[in-house]
Structure 1
């Protein structure tokens, strides 16, 4: 398999001098060399055809044994040296010290036109950062990561990508809900792809250890290869770097809120410096619109990473990155100014995003209150987020008093019988105000619908959909993986023959494991 190798990360940054694959604290290094664990009977389940094209890998190549061996860790390409990255992080608000790539191994970097891509295997065996774990992954979590990362890309959400999904042929022991009931599951590997897997925690660990030489080297590398638009020098370039990371992080989170995605574990080691969604663990998609919902069983009580708190956590995580970069600048005010700007920008961008979701594109002083009331109304009873906003584009301004609730709303209710008269009255008031506000728009209903349908997806990877694919895969049927993959490539299209997926979560999935709450092993 011929690839245009361009391994800048390992050539330009310091490596761990210890070449033994033993669990340990790694100092004065950004990574450790490590070899993927060989798998016993690998099988390729799915390949992203679009990502193949992006990486200039032919479909014929993807069908070869060499490709299978590379993406399952059984072969190391010539002139490449796989490695695991060293980083730390704050987990659920607490400093956890060294973490690192405990079950991820970077194979190589390749150059395509003017862009570098890193190929990384998730679930390919232990590394010096595995602590007490085995470095492996199971099929259920791998299916979730593979499908979701590609689905997010097609939704227009900044994300890492997934090239392939493979079985290893090995069994892996996991305690899925951390309840003392471990069981063997099918082992699997996802080949992930990104321009970079550098995280906030990559800087935090170096700063915490006062390894300022390596900290500066990593910051300079990140600017050179991932933010070449930065032309300033000295301290100013690190301030500009932080500003751009802050802006990209906010952009990513606004997209999460737009489509109803909840990351579930926004630790600083899961935050990319590129503002990309990374590490698809216990994520979830809103069914009912609920600011307090989190999919992570570990976060069940605190709800730190709940849907409505994601923007605040983004800011908190950026503060930790600012603290890590501070030794390179030694001035607090520039960082404080950028963090304060994040707050200002969030208010403006969130309002703009929510307005676009309901088809308002002209400036109007009434909109802030209209959006606030809408978000409150959506909490009165369980109301399907995806269906409500998608169907709202069918609502037409009739310029007369609305006396019955529109279908776009009632079809999104999970429990219509609990919607009493007082709730109906509040909703009718809102729709009448909304109806009058639409008169201020300068576009036709047809044009408004077209624009809204490009913002509000019809199809997202609802938790129960992924679980159905997992259940089938555990029985040896992998066809639903491809069906969902194809569906989610066009999330904004009507796809009339796929209407079965444009429905509310079925009642059987309300409390089913994998459909409501998930653990970090999911």
Structure 2
């Protein structure tokens, strides 16, 4: 069956300077933001799973998805007309230290597709083979990490969190050797490729690299391009004009750059607030993993909070310092934005607009945090004292080892006239800790019930607000691991089954209650369910 003829407008390649050398030879690339490189063909590409919403947006029918031709394209064996594969060049701060050139080490962008609705969607294969930026790895990805990225990209979208998307998950029919925990025990694992989809994959690190190299002309060109392609509303009626014409006319000035940076800061704050709302821990918030659009990007050693713990990180590499732990995500995002501000500083005669953008991050984060608190507690709005009320609860939840998702979902069923721990009974991981903290938790519930009596929302409106803010289903680590184990044994059906649950995370979904259960004891310390590495 023929695949649809997609319309590609590869502006990134057309408008920005590229590497004169082609091919995957690992090298330092100067003065360029992309390098042409073809995906490395695989032995037996087979479609394991897909997102029907993303497929429909791009124009693929169910029959086309099932055809061998689809797996050939999105397994990296062939190209559709208009595709122009490149790997992107960027740098970044990793764990607080400048790491120099990084780039797409295992991701290859096929091109920028214009959808029937007029949207721009860049299609990127992760695990498609060597690139000039592959460094010590081989450009491939393993099945376990690919399943996790595919599922989480879509789960986050359905939770309402800004994110990159995933079109497809294709097995390669080849093994990839990985040392999962960098402990000297490499082993072959099944290989796979995810097709990631986003309006843009530009990262903070794209701007840091030319700044570090002193290439201010490239920095300016990249900033102008980003505003023109990814933030066209900042150009108003002139957004449809060619980029070169706008540059010659002086359309990009300090005011424009300042407005752009401020919007990046606000978008970032709102996305981080969503992470905190649903209990998501990114795990590796380096600046090269921060999207300029404020999307959640690069699903590596991420995790989901089970028992509430602001100090938890899923990343084995971060186990000692815990720089990227759950509770630190808002401040790390601010630090990363400060690095972006530094990179953009040559575009400004004065640092005041950059400081204003960082101040807007703080304001936007505080406003978003208050909205999160109001939603999770079912309040019309967050008043003075409500943040402290939430902080008290979170401290008790941490001490009593209470499941975050179960507690807040069940809290909607609380009877303010007779506040009791009964609705939240399934959320405790340790009976002795529940008993030890029961009195304090019950006092908190009484104080919360008193606050509800002073709120204008009636019981039905409160419950609806809480259910819209507190998901019943999140992609718990052990659920993803079960799907991985099943697929590794030759049955990929668990991927689609789990994705179907995650498509409606705020609905009750009778018969699927097991997917909302707290982490089982066997998953407390099992690899893939508690701690993960950056290995993929």
Please indicate the TM-score interval, normalised by the length of the shorter structure: over 0.9
Q: 2:502 maps to what in 1? A: 488
Over 3 Å counting, the alpha-carbon distance change for 1:15 and 1:362 in structure 2 is closer
Determine whether 1:198 maps to 2:202. Answer: yes
C-alpha distance in structure 1 between counterparts of 2:209 and 2:397, whole Å:
41
CA contact (8 A) 2:156 2:162 kept: yes
C-alpha deviation, 1:319, in angstroms: 0.4
CA contact (8 A) 1:12 1:221 kept: yes
C-alpha distance in structure 2 between counterparts of 1:426 and 1:332, whole Å:
48
CA contact (8 A) 1:88 1:202 kept: yes
Cα deviations by residue, 1:373-410 (Å, 9 ceiling, x for unpaired): 11221111211000000011001220x6x5xx422333
1:43 to 43, 46, 57: 46
Runs of 5+ unmatched residues, structure 2: 236-250
C-alpha deviation, 1:420, in angstroms: 4.1
Q: Secondary structure at the match of 2:469?
A: coil
Q: 1:56 maps to what in 2? A: 59
Determine whether 1:271 maps to 2:286. Answer: no
Q: 1:157 maps to what in 2? A: 161
C-alpha deviation, 1:79, in angstroms: 3.3
Q: Secondary structure at the match of 2:400?
A: coil
C-alpha distance in structure 1 between counterparts of 2:23 and 2:365, whole Å:
46
C-alpha distance in structure 2 between counterparts of 1:103 and 1:321, whole Å:
24
Q: 2:379 maps to what in 1? A: 360
Q: 1:408 maps to what in 2? A: 423
Determine whether 1:3 maps to 2:6. Answer: yes
Cα deviations by residue, 1:228-247 (Å, 9 ceiling, x for unpaired): 11137411111111101101
C-alpha distance in structure 2 between counterparts of 1:13 and 1:186, whole Å:
36
Within a 5 Å distance, the mapping from 1:399-438 to structure 2 comes to 402=419, 405-421=420-436, 423-438=437-452
Task: Using structure 1 for the length normalisation, give the TM-score.
Answer: 0.97
The 10-residue stretch of structure 1 (194-203 or 372-381) with the greater mean CA deviation from structure 2: 372-381
C-alpha deviation, 1:363, in angstroms: 5.1
Q: Secondary structure at the match of 1:67?
A: helix
Q: Secondary structure at the match of 1:25?
A: coil
C-alpha distance in structure 2 between counterparts of 1:282 and 1:425, whole Å:
37
Q: 2:320 maps to what in 1? A: 301
1:210 to 207, 214, 218: 214
The 10-residue stretch of structure 1 (353-362 or 226-235) with the greater mean CA deviation from structure 2: 226-235
Within a 5 Å distance, the mapping from 1:52-201 to structure 2 comes to 52-112=55-115, 113-201=117-205
C-alpha deviation, 1:479, in angstroms: 1.2
C-alpha deviation, 1:258, in angstroms: 0.3
The 10-residue stretch of structure 1 (178-187 or 347-356) with the greater mean CA deviation from structure 2: 347-356
Task: Using structure 2 for the length normalisation, give the TM-score.
Answer: 0.94
1:456 to 432, 445, 470: 470
Determine whether 1:249 maps to 2:268. Answer: yes
C-alpha deviation, 1:347, in angstroms: 2.4
The 10-residue stretch of structure 1 (63-72 or 91-100) with the greater mean CA deviation from structure 2: 63-72
CA contact (8 A) 1:410 1:416 kept: no
Cα deviations by residue, 1:299-337 (Å, 9 ceiling, x for unpaired): 000000000000000000000100111111132121112
C-alpha deviation, 1:92, in angstroms: 0.4
Runs of 5+ unmatched residues, structure 1: none
C-alpha deviation, 1:342, in angstroms: 1.8
Q: Secondary structure at the match of 2:7?
A: coil
C-alpha deviation, 1:344, in angstroms: 3.0
RMSD between aligned residues: 1.3
CA contact (8 A) 2:266 2:360 kept: no
C-alpha distance in structure 1 between counterparts of 2:133 and 2:385, whole Å:
53
Cα deviations by residue, 1:424-471 (Å, 9 ceiling, x for unpaired): 222122111111110122222122111211110000110000100111
C-alpha distance in structure 1 between counterparts of 2:307 and 2:378, whole Å:
21
Determine whether 1:440 maps to 2:459. Answer: no
